Chains A and B, each alone.
Chain A
């Protein structure tokens, strides 16, 4: 493999990791703060992609697709938290697993009713549609670079909110020691609703930004769900920084796994997960007692 191909693969890995981070950070926030395992996370990724397709089709604007898709996902997240998810706080994991499994079935059918089950593609915005010429016969799509930059900005925003704002402080307190925070007078009802909605919105955002580079299809959420689980296991539950590390590792492993082990390209990430489990069962940046 020459240096340019290596560079292209590295870019692919980072771009893939960036999208994974978007989705997995939403998942890890919901785990860390609400203590709820949400299997329907992947379904919202899929829904985001379909929303992007639909809004872009209706309005012709990809920017509107991002804004509209995220807004819809946020509102749906708020509603779901109010109606269903709040019932799960403090319930056993089996209930959480099965309620979110039921949600997956429902969301899949709703998608079927609204958008059908066809495979779609979405055009990237015109000003990002070109590609950068790397060598005489190798080019790289601008849109993929834009994804990297965009995800980096979102990551920076999440870090700033969590480390610098009052709501971030409440969120950190909640994941650190919920009882103590409650004793100190913090009301978690609203915080929970916002955190869940943000988590769902991040999953949908992931689906929206990949819509132009991958196809939009019904089963796309399942694969993403498993991958973001692996990311969270690698990074440590509740740790957004861990999600970033895990996502990058998975991006690299998956991309280079496809290059070096084409027949069994899906296996290397699980080997990586097994190694991390032996080495640090609570994740690379996870708390030891978790």
Chain B
């Protein structure tokens, strides 16, 4: 136990430094970079949300971009042409729509396992893509603009002006911290341990009496709802939604972030998101065929670093974090809880 606390201390310090840096960014960086970091934090939020099912649940979902996009589309559809929509009205509805979509897809996809689950989530995600692509409800393949950002106003008085990049940045940062807090509480709760137990040994967890299907469905729905939070913010930031937002390439890119950041911690995927988005930014600026290099880097990461950047740290000489310990007695922990 003592050993754990000692080895966690540098990690806590690292986290604290990151938080301070995140708060300092808008005061020192030019507007372009404030917006860039806003985007990176939103994608990080999506990656963190996705990791609840991928890391903790062991379920590789390829439809999270669609859940992300649904919330964005709800905001676009609810925004009155040239007026601001109320955040207090549109935000809950958008998140609810993502959660409901996740509930339906999850209820069907969780009837399957492994490779099947991946294919089914991919297929339903693409169904949503084609739905917005082919029908004319929201501009079809052209997408739809959100002309005015939603406003945070009570009784006609505006509290926060989301049009200011710095204000919007802090709203996103606050949401991200909220999402991380929710996921940390969930992952440490008996529910989270039961989810991990089902990942490690489904048969054993089932014979211990856990309602596996229900646990996974709740996790999938929660993860979808949090992806919706990110999608809502993304739509508000760009002022635009298009079917590509829901496409599976986006889902796969977020999975890459999860892989880079490591699946066994709540905030790891956030690091992965920052790394990947930073990398894309550098590649785009310098290369014509940047996707070729990105593809090769992804392949390289999969081959060389299957446990994400955690592995780099352990290669440098930090004692490897004992990942098995976290997973193996997951079932035992629940019984004590």
**Do residues B114 and A93 form an inter-chain contact, with CB atoms below 8 A?**
yes
Residues of A within 8 A of B301 (CB): 98
Given contacts A226-B122, A226-B123, A233-B123, contact A105 B294 (CB under 8 A): yes
Q: Which of A95, A109, A282 contacts B295 (CB 8 A)?
A: A109
Asked whether A277 is an interface residue with its Cβ less than 8 Å from the other chain, the reply is yes
Asked whether A104 is an interface residue with its Cβ less than 8 Å from the other chain, the reply is yes
A283 to chain B: closest residue by CB: B116
Which positions 62-111 of chain A face chain B at CB distance < 8 Å? 84, 87, 91-95, 97-99, 101-106, 108-110
**Do residues B123 and A109 form an inter-chain contact, with CB atoms below 8 A?**
no
Q: Which of B122, B258, B294, B299 contacts A99 (CB 8 A)?
A: B299
Q: In whole angstroms, what is the CA distance A95 to B307 when docked?
A: 10
Given contacts A237-B115, A278-B111, contact A94 B255 (CB under 8 A): yes
**Do residues A105 and B115 form an inter-chain contact, with CB atoms below 8 A?**
no
**Do residues B289 and A282 form an inter-chain contact, with CB atoms below 8 A?**
no
Residues of B within 8 A of A87 (CB): 303
Quick check: which of A2-10, A12-20, A133-141, A266-274 contacts chain B, the rest being far away? A266-274
**Do residues A233 and B116 form an inter-chain contact, with CB atoms below 8 A?**
yes
Q: Is the interface of B mostly helix, strand, loop or mixed?
A: helix
**Do residues B295 and A106 form an inter-chain contact, with CB atoms below 8 A?**
yes
Residues of A within 8 A of B258 (CB): 94
> Number of contact residues on A: which range applies?
35 or more
Asked whether A121 is an interface residue with its Cβ less than 8 Å from the other chain, the reply is no
**Do residues B115 and A37 form an inter-chain contact, with CB atoms below 8 A?**
yes
Residues of A within 8 A of B255 (CB): 94, 97-98, 101
**Do residues B134 and A103 form an inter-chain contact, with CB atoms below 8 A?**
no
**Total count of chain B residues near the partner, CB < 8 A:** 45
Residues of B within 8 A of A112 (CB): 289
Given contacts A94-B263, A99-B299, A278-B108, contact A37 B252 (CB under 8 A): no
Q: In whole angstroms, what is the CA distance A226 to B120 when docked?
A: 9
Residues of B within 8 A of A109 (CB): 289, 291-292, 295
Q: In whole angstroms, what is the CA distance A265 to B134 when docked?
A: 8
Residues of A within 8 A of B136 (CB): 263
Q: Which of A105, A222, A273, A277 contacts B298 (CB 8 A)?
A: A105
**Do residues B130 and A95 form an inter-chain contact, with CB atoms below 8 A?**
no
How would residues 25 to 55 of chain A score, 1 for a CB under 8 Å from any chain B CB and 0 otherwise? Answer: 0000001000101010000000000000000
B interface residue numbers (CB < 8 A to A)? 54, 60, 62, 108-109, 111-112, 114-116, 118-120, 122-124, 126-127, 130-131, 133-136, 248-249, 252, 255-256, 258-259, 263, 289, 291-292, 294-299, 301-303, 306
Would you list 6 pairs from A and B whose C-beta atoms are within 8 A, ordered by A residue? A37-B115, A94-B263, A102-B298, A105-B292, A106-B299, A233-B119
